[in-house]
Amino acid sequence: MVDRILVTGGAGFVGSHVAEYYAENGKEVTVLDNFGRVEMLEKADETVDTPKYNESYLDNKFSNIDFVEGDVRDEEIVKDVIEGKDAIVHLAGQTANTQSMRTPRLDFEINAKGTLNILEEANRSESDPAIVYASTNQVYGQNVNDIPLDEKDQRFVFADDKYSEGLSEGFPIDHTVHDPYGVSKLTGDMYVQDYDKRTNLDATALRLSCIYGPRQFGNEDQGWVAHFAMSALRDQSFTIFGNGKQVRDVLYVDDLVNAIDSILSDPDGKSSVYNIGGGPEHTTSLLEFIDLIEEITGEQPSYSFDDWWEGDQRIWISDIRRAKNELNWEPKTSFEDGLEKYIDWAETAV
């Protein structure tokens, strides 16, 4: 039973939705956030302060959310905010592959050390909180690009039917190249699994694919669904790195929140890692997505092409069968419906 919950990074995109969900259900919610997105991401729009926007939204709507400005790298603050909580959703992190290449030490300190701080203080806490950690499909590195592909008009597809359900949690993570972001998130991921197995904590890592939805302000570094859609609404050109045929499974943010709650509402005996995304039924290539934007808005997006990003996965599709079977969960929102919801919100925010 979740009564008192800590959401690290709770003023971010996903965090604000987690905080909203539990606040609406009458829980005591504490948000820990350093409000540093603009400074953290080199390509972030300085006219849009996402954490402040989300803090204002939540603060105006709820009286049962307590905001604490602080950083997961600060052990004393982490200790203070964890004490008395029965659940933690750990979303605070450095979120961009590109930024990790520029500042790998900062990336490590936030994603790896920050996660260890959360686990250590939770393990010391008398309230014994259950933990859900936001990991990423980037933990699999460039092993994904070793899978043979066929190239169609608008997308890559797996050449082997073995991957018709996507890639499972057992897909290899070793003997390949990872960028610093993938390494730091994998470090946190492995710590979560270790603490789940070795201590009394119930801890779960969710290896997330592309999450999208209202209150997401994307940019070139991170959040491509929002970045493309928002750019189109602003009549601004954006860049596709590669040929646009790369494929991702996409998940509407409310569906992610439901997956998180399905774990926290009964954490005992859950697996320590799940792939969470839209799965094979909810995928898009970049080129297909651009066509969908035009179909919904009636406007043709303006874009150009540039070289592939280093290490970009040509296809990522999450095999979500473990989550379906163990959590009694599956995505409910189609990409078309989710994108319409996003655009409805974005049209009031641009």
Question: Span 326-342, mean pLDDT?
Answer: 98
- Dihedral pair phi/psi, residue 152, rounded to 5°: -100, -175
Q: Tokens representing 192?
A: 């979560």
Active site residue 53: no
pLDDT in tens, 151-186: 999 999 999 999 999 999 999 999 999 999 999 999
Which three-class secondary structure state does DSSP give residue 185?
Answer: helix
pLDDT at 311: 78
pLDDT at 217: 92
Q: Is the pTM of this model over 0.85?
A: yes
Given pLDDT bands bounded at 50, 70 and 90, which one contains residue 40? low
Answer whether residue 79 shows pLDDT above 80. Answer: yes
- C-alpha dihedral over 288, 291, 297, 301, to 10 degrees? 110
Answer whether residue 44 shows pLDDT above 70. Answer: no
Q: Give the integer Cα–Cα distance in Å for 290 and 232.
A: 9
Catalytic residue among 22, 133, 181, 274: 181
pLDDT at 141: 94
Q: 131 forms bridges with which residues in the sheet?
A: 88, 203
Q: Domain range holding 232?
A: 4-349
* Helix residue ranges per DSSP H, 126-252: 180-198, 224-233
Which three-class secondary structure state does DSSP give residue 157?
Answer: strand
pLDDT at 39: 54
Three-point CA angle 156, 161, 167, nearest 5° = 75
The domain total for the chain is 1
First to last CA, the chain: 39
Given pLDDT bands bounded at 50, 70 and 90, which one contains residue 45? low
Given pLDDT bands bounded at 50, 70 and 90, which one contains residue 101? confident
pLDDT at 96: 85
Answer whether residue 146 shows pLDDT above 70. Answer: yes
- C-alpha dihedral over 281, 282, 284, 288, to 10 degrees? 90
What's the whole-number average pLDDT of the chain? 94
pLDDT in tens, 264-310: 999 999 999 999 999 999 999 999 999 999 999 998 999 999 999 88
Question: Span 106-121, mean pLDDT?
Answer: 97
pLDDT in tens, 181-215: 999 999 999 999 999 999 999 999 999 999 999 99
Determine the longest span between alpha carbons in the chain, in angstroms. Answer: 57
Whichever domain contains 252, its CATH number is 3.40.50.720
Amino acid making up residue 197: K
